[in-house]
Amino acid sequence: MDDIKRIIIPVDSSEISRIAVKRGALLAKLLGVSIKVISVNDTHQFVSSVVIEERLRKEAESMLDSFKKIGEEVGVKVETEIICGKPAEEIVKFAKEDDLIIMPNTIKKGIDRILSGSVSEEVVRKAPCSVLVIKSK
């Protein structure tokens, strides 16, 4: 695993994201690498209100700050970023060959799964690096 330079952890506000950040931070400490926690905002295609968009951005920043603290408590360098676009597509674009992506698998059921598919499945198929998926219980 000495070819891993950075761990990328895509998150949302779910509890499984919190678990992914904790596990990712612990692994980063063992490997001596930093982590980048990212949130992909895909609401801009549905929201036309500047006020609502700003509120969503502030909520994402607050969420990322709380995840950053988790990593810092473990003792690793943590950077955060908000990216706009389709989640799987943006995560894959963000990753490099020498990264490791650790991501939560939020289970979708029924029509949600049919319409949007699984972000983690698409990332596993298309990422240029290894992907570790943290399953929800």
Domains for the chain: give ranges and CATH numbers.
6-135 (3.40.50.620)
CA–CA dist 14, 45 (Å, integer): 22
Contact 70, 22 (CB under 8 A): yes
Q: Phi and psi (nearest 5°) for 22?
A: -60, -50
Paired tokens of 26: 């612990």
**CA-based Rg of the chain, rounded to a whole angstrom?**
15
pTM listed for this prediction: 0.87
pLDDT tens for the chain, residues 1 to 137? 569 999 999 999 889 999 999 999 999 999 999 999 999 988 655 556 777 778 888 999 999 999 999 999 999 999 999 998 899 999 999 999 999 999 998 755 555 554 446 889 999 999 999 999 998 77
CA atoms within 13 A of residue 53's CA, in its CB half-sphere = 12
Paired tokens of 102: 């650790």
Both ends of the chain: CA-CA distance in Å?
27
